[in-house]
Amino acid sequence: MGLAGTATDAVIEPTSLQILRAIDVCGPRRIAPPTPAARTTPKRHITFTETQPDTPAIWRKPMLKQILVATAVAAIGASNALAHVSLETKEAAVGSTYKAVLRVPHGCEGKPTNVVRVKIPEGVIAVKPMPKAGWTLEKVKGSYAKSYDLHGTATNAGIKEVVWTGGSLADDEYDEFTLRAFLTTDLAAGEQLYFPVVQECPEGAAERWIEIPAAGQKADDLERPAPAIKLLHEVGGH
């Protein structure tokens, strides 16, 4: 029995030591925390208020719409480009008088349009809006960022926003809002010139056509692109 017990001890002891040494050397098993998934930054678009941070709230895009931009664009599709507020004439030469005819094709989610606001871009001067039957015309004036030449006369202030109010354009109706202005030679030929527009409707509803494409973007990439024209090189006469 003694020999049997000794033999048993000889077999068990090394096994126990091996286990203890393995635990001592390796230590408790540790599980590495999962690596966070790489975050992707969504493609940004520029709105009118990013370059004009002190503009009134009506020109600011609601945060909820910013969050839903990607989903909305995918759902709308290219066919809805005709539903955008747009300019009838898509090109104009710098140093010339331009007649801007803004085409408003619908209201705000079924509601009629009661107010149409147009922001006049810098470099566009001597603005003359066309009165419209059934609407009240408001001309918001202010100083330009610099002095411009208007047929030999220095001009440093004028109309910076045009507002038609008090009308009622049903959601299933179409209308046009017109102004004329001088495109100064300070504007860069070959570039796009944007005229941000806001439609106001009952119960605080609004359609803000104020987004300006970032470098590498197209207007079709945006949910609410601002109406634009392409600036051409100056030609003789005005």
Distance between CA 232 and CA 176 in Å, rounded? 24
pLDDT 10s digit of each residue in the chain, 238 long? Answer: 444 444 444 444 455 545 445 445 445 455 455 554 444 444 444 445 444 556 666 666 655 444 444 344 434 444 445 589 999 999 999 999 999 999 999 999 999 999 999 999 999 999 999 999 999 999 999 999 999 999 999 999 999 999 999 999 999 999 999 999 999 999 999 999 999 999 999 999 999 999 999 988 988 889 999 999 999 999 865 4
Q: What is the pLDDT of residue 83?
A: 83
Q: What is the pLDDT of residue 123?
A: 98
The fold for domain 46-232 equals: Immunoglobulin-like (2.60.40)
All structural domains of the chain with their residue ranges: 46-232
What's the pTM? 0.69
Distance between CA 121 and CA 195 in Å, rounded? 6
The contacts of residue 130 (CB under 8 Å, 6+ apart) are 177, 178, 179, 180
How does DSSP classify residue 108? B
Q: What is the pLDDT of residue 235?
A: 85
Residue 19, judged by CB atoms within 10 A of its CB (0-12, 13-18, 19+), counts as exposed
Q: What is the pLDDT of residue 220?
A: 86
Q: What is the pLDDT of residue 212?
A: 95
Distance between CA 192 and CA 36 in Å, rounded? 41
